[in-house]
């Protein structure tokens, strides 16, 4: 029995080996190949996958590059706006306007930056600086930049007070900037809008306006036989307007205008005005005041005669705190001035929802009245 069993087993093993050597159908063979991990992609499948990967990579790269370029445009625009603001601040601070060639140095000094940071972009492309060819400011027949303000200011009305900065975040094509910057070309560039085709080529344009930094100042001397003295900034050198004369000029914003008065035979500083708007003053009776009327008029009248007599009277020996007649007249003028401002606004303020002490004109007028009362008491030694 054993022998036969062994013989049968041996026969079965032989049959299995024979079956393994027999070729299998195609479907069965493919199934077995996948089962044992022997599958592979065809060349066409591999090319298709690589093509899809390449397209996706191109889309992602293009989006990233466009985002980087958009951010670069925004950054350069912000930098140019900062330069323009710094240039204007520098003009106000130094009371001077450079030529186009010195604009980068003045901007760099104002921002405490290396010159290279102003002259070139972060992408190492050059920035170009232009002043209007017909920039007019200063004195004389040919006023132009560079300009440094003196005590005379700009006796010619400033005009074409503009500058341009042109930069790019990429290579700038030769036709973007003109070979020669004349007045017409400058104006055309200044007036161009965002549709300018050069902007599509990554060119940035920054405008700088200076005209609004100048304010007109008119000084009238109504005295028939007395010079009207004034000075500018910290200088002690006085400039005089001849009797009956008129001086008109334009000063840079925040200029300190010093108006001097006549006290006996000497001159003293009466007031210092910081110029922030167009203003005018008149010099009369040895003192400066705001220009409220046009010219001296037909005469001072009875009240004016009384003021003149009051100013020319002798000082009381018992006065206190060096009070004098002129201080009384000045404070009376201040009081009338502030009350007039309050009246022109329609007398705002009441005792309920809008108390008068909160109204600026009423408050300073009330204070002027208090000072007027105190000065009057001190003048008579009370």
Question: Angle at CA 324, nearest 5°, toward 320 and 328?
Answer: 110
Instruction: Supply the pTM of this predicted model.
Output: 0.64
**Which contacts (CB < 8 Å, 24+ apart) does range 69-75 have?**
69/169, 69/202, 72/122, 72/123, 72/169, 73/169, 73/202, 73/204, 75/122
pLDDT tens by residue, the chain, 382 residues = 444 444 455 555 555 455 555 555 555 555 555 554 555 667 787 787 787 887 777 666 666 566 767 788 888 989 999 999 999 999 999 999 999 999 999 999 999 999 999 999 988 899 999 999 999 999 988 888 999 999 999 999 999 999 999 998 877 776 677 778 899 989 988 988 654 544 546 788 899 999 999 999 999 999 999 999 999 998 778 999 999 999 999 999 999 999 998 887 888 888 888 899 998 999 988 888 875 444 444 445 566 677 778 888 888 888 988 888 888 888 888 888 788 878 877 888 876 777 787 788 788 888 889 999 999 999 988 8
Nearest CA-CA partner of 59 in 48, 70, 49, 67:
67
Fold classification of 212-298 is Immunoglobulin-like (2.60.40)
What the block records as the tokens of 214 is 């100048």
Domain parsing of the chain, residue ranges: 48-209, 212-298, 300-382
Give the integer Cα–Cα distance in Å for 245 and 252: 23
Give the integer Cα–Cα distance in Å for 43 and 164: 60
Strand duo 246-252 + 214-221: pairing: antiparallel
């Amino acid at each position: 029995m054993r022998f036969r069993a062994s013989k049968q087993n041996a026969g079965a093993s032989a049959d299995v080996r024979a079956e393994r050597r027999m070729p299998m159908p195609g479907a069965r063979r493919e199934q077995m190949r996948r089962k044992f991990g022997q599958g592979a992609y065809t060349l066409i499948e591999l090319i298709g996958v690589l093509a899809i990967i390449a397209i996706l990579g191109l889309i992602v790269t293009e989006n990233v590059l466009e985002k980087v370029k958009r951010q670069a445009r925004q950054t350069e625009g912000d930098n140019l706006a900062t330069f323009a603001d710094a240039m204007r601040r520098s003009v106000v601070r130094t009371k001077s306007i450079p030529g186009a060639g010195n604009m980068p140095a003045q901007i760099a000094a104002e921002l405490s930056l290396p010159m290279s940071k102003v002259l070139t972009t972060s992408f190492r492309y050059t920035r170009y600086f232009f002043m209007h060819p017909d920039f007019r400011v200063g004195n004389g027949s040919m006023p132009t930049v560079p300009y440094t303000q003196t005590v005379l200011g700009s006796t010619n009305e400033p005009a074409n007070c503009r500058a341009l900065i042109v930069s790019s975040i990429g290579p700038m094509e030769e036709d973007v900037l003109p070979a020669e910057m004349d007045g017409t070309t400058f104006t055309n560039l200044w007036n161009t809008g965002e549709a300018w085709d050069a902007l599509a080529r990554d060119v940035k344009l920054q405008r700088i306006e200076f005209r609004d930094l100048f304010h007109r100042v008119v000084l009238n001397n109504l005295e028939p036989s007395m010079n009207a003295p004034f000075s500018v900034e910290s200088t002690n050198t006085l400039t005089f307007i001849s009797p009956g004369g008129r001086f008109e000029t334009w000063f840079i914003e925040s200029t300190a205008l010093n108006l001097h008065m006549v006290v006996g035979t000497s001159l003293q500083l009466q007031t210092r005005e910081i110029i922030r708007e167009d203003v005018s003053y008149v010099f009369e009776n040895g003192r400066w005041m705001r220009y409220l009327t046009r010219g001296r008029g037909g005469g001072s009248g009875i009240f004016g005669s009384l003021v003149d007599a009051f100013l020319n009277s002798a000082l009381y020996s018992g006065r206190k705190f060096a009070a004098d007649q002129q201080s009384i007249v000045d404070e009376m003028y201040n009081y009338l001035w502030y009350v007039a401002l309050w009246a022109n606004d329609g007398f705002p303020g009441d005792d309920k929802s809008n108390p008068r002490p909160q109204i600026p004109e009423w408050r300073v007028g009330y204070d002027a009245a208090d000072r007027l009362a105190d000065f009057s008491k001190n003048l008579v030694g009370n």
